[in-house]
Structure 1
Amino acid sequence: MFVSEGIRAQVAKLLSDGLRPSEIARELELAGPTVDYHVSRLRCAERRIRPVEQKLDTNDIQARRYVSTRSQVFELLKTGLSRAEIARRLGIGKGTVSYHARRLGEPVDARCARRYDWSVIQRYYDAGHSLSECIERFGFARHSWHDAVKRDAIVPRPKSMPIEALLAGARNRSHLKKRLLAAGLKAGTCEECGIGEWRGRPLSLALHHVNGKRHDNRLENIELLCPNCHSQTDTYAGRNPRRGANKDTSPADSVLSPSAKKAA
């Protein structure tokens, strides 16, 4: 990249001296298409600056300062200076230099991607903190995180929640049922009668909570039942919600399945 900027600076100087592209190619011992490329980039950058300068109000000091900064950044980039050095010379932030460089069509400085210690961020993230908490702690932008992931500088957690965490609290029933089937923890058949199809098509199974507490997603408290068997359960559709309140039952009895109760 720095070699390219150095060549572009030389091309810019020779252009300002009045040389044609073909003469510049001979002077610098470069291929004609290479010179044409740099000339095109230089003229493109100038066209970006010129319309802004033409539209400025003479009394708009802030806008003038903005264009002046971009012009200075453009000139210093042509000399091959690093963006950090340009920032020091102009007394502005490196992010400001990078912003103007991007607007001028310059490629992103790969070193900017390494200004955060992603190994430290990874450790903080692995300790259980969310992406939002990492952003708040270290001050990077969300797109910087995604760029770091693409470079393998950051290894994000799997998007799907571990099945243990999924069973630990209140979850969407449809999602929980799909995850249980995908993990092989439940079969695609009714746990009461064993039916899995009806008229040659898969039967829709209901997620049934044995003790009637719909947020109690312990594996032993969950059954997949066909509509008929589900409708016959003691807690179907909120039936007898206080049924166990007047009975002296042990914790183990509270989660017995219908089939287990019959066997008992």
Structure 2
Amino acid sequence: MSRGVRHGRFDPDELHAAVAESVSLAEVLRRLGRPDNGRQRAALREQIAQQGLTTAHFRGQAHQRGRRGTNAKDPGEVLVRHTAATHRIKTWRLRRALRDVGVAERCARCGLRPEWLGKPMTLEIDHVNGDWRDNRRENLRLLCPNCHAVTSTWCRGGRRRRTRTPVE
């Protein structure tokens, strides 16, 4: 037994027109006669990305209508050396700041893009000197998981003792 009405894929022409004339995902869904719920929003985002449509003209939440979000920090505020009392800066903020200053989305060592076997892969942020409070641009780089795993700064790797017993 069905729990509700199933909606098929979005018609490409209708979707293109609705996205161009709307200022939010909710408005696009209303124009297409779809319910505004998580499943429909996810499907809509996926279709917008697949068709390469722009949503740059979409506005913020209702209380911020027409203005940019207030949580977007300037890269100059994020990419600095912090004091000992500072909490760790969230990875998504560091990624956004690096993107804003023009850091390419590829591994700094091997040049790999953030894709592996046709699927998305997360490039990891590496602090070159091992100090996670030092978020200056020159101390940060994006590395693929393989390249990051062989650095001395990966998972406290620089603090490990490298003693080995000689093999006789």
TM-score by length of 2: 0.47
Higher relative contact order (CA 8 A, sep 6+): 2
Which has the larger share of helix?
1
